[in-house]
Structure 1
Amino acid sequence: MNQIVDVTPNTLTSTPSVITYSHDEIKNMFDELHAAFQNAETWAKRVENIIDDVPIAAINQMRYAGYHISKVLSKSNFFPIESPNQSLVNIDDLRSAYKHLLRAYFDSLDQLTQQISAQLSAYETKFQDLNIVVTDHFPDFFNWIDSVHEIGQFDISTDTESVNQFAISKNDRETHYQKIVEKIDELQLIQKQFRAIANCLIVQANKINKENSKWSFSKFTIIIGIILAILGTSGTCYFGYKSTIQEPKLPPIKPINNSIPPPK
């Protein structure tokens, strides 16, 4: 197994593009290539079903693999006349195709964990913005975050992504991504909670908005009441003007003194 990308002195040195292999060796390498494709396709489909999003990076890797496979077929001689029991194979492109299929598998799992981690962080921020304690609604929320963070990411800071360097890091990569595979059911369960979290945020946000609206209306009526009270104490009100300013009172009219006797 792993004849295509194997960490041996031969694969770590430059080799000609086309070298001789027995038919059995060729069959084994193509079996490995086919298994790598099936694994990449299986996980791309599974991740798509979990996150409801196409893992574009993985699809691109499979596309690159197809390009290299076409070059293997065009530049190899599987039945040379001078050596009918052996084949001249374009091994460089065969290794590149295998590498891209492994990358497709890895990239699918990377997209799964990265997307779940980003969504958890976004939801945590939204709960904080609403001043809501997330664990009151989802008690396992921070356990989910810890679980995703425990997986971590594969460190490629010193990896040049060449076929040879990829071969060197292959075992470490597979160990890292196996951790994701082992947690796939838990990750799928977390992803299923996102719809409930989103609905909860909508309900809580609407509740807060209604409370704020009621408070705003109450404040408005209180302010109007205060204004009317103030205006009322000054004796003035609108919509029917009234004033405490009193008109001056006139002195009472005295009756005419008719003491002059009438003429006789």
Structure 2
Amino acid sequence: MIRYSAHLGYLFAEMPLEKRFAAARQAGFIEVEHPSPYGLPAERVRSLCEEHGLTFAQMALPAGDASRGEKGIACLPGRELDFEASVRKGLDYAMQIGSRFVHVMSGVLPNDMNREEVWPTYLRNVESACKAAEAARMSVLIEPIGAATLANYMMDDPYLALQAIEEIGAPNLSMLFDAFHAANAGIDPVAFVQEHHGRIAHVHIADHPGRHEPGTGTIDFGGLFEALDAANYAGSIGLEYMPAATTEAGLGWRNSFQ
């Protein structure tokens, strides 16, 4: 059975975040996720999950100062103390809401630095996050986000994520594989899963092009789900797409994949 997670940053976005939990349960979901749920107190998120019979799949560590365009700070030299503080805050919040994973965002490359220059900082920071998460009995995710979606994001390629996971070598570090980002970068999501499924602990889907529901673009989701099933994938599949109309109107595609 495929287990879907409602990404509450994208689905049911026509209503306040606090109301999306009930909407997700009403639509048949038993898992939810959100990259930055910090606008709600952790105890409120935990209460909403308990009230509606939901579990929380994954969330990101605090991503830095949005007003400065920060999308994570793990790769930024000189921000190590800020990163340590974000790990403490994020893990505390994640433990309170029962999140299965925390996602470490790499951040955007500084204007005057290239990937090779920030790579050691990134590895050290992710490794320290893994150690802190291990003490909290939690797992860590790396999600590659392609340049077409987020310009100059340091962790922009699934193969780069594989390299980081290999170099860090932490037992609780895996990839959040996004089929849309992969296809947007010219990578076949099915082939990638077939070859590297052992490194994947969470999956995001949206069709390409358009980033709408499966069936609106060209990705072979039948093949993708078959590849995950053949690999005995035990994680969930997060629906991180922009509904073409309302969320509810676009959920019928799930009936094609059970």
- Which category of TM-score, normalised to the shorter sequence, fits these structures? under 0.3
TM-score (norm 1): 0.22
TM-score (norm 2): 0.22
Larger radius of gyration: 1
Going by fraction, where is strand more abundant, 1 or 2? Answer: 2
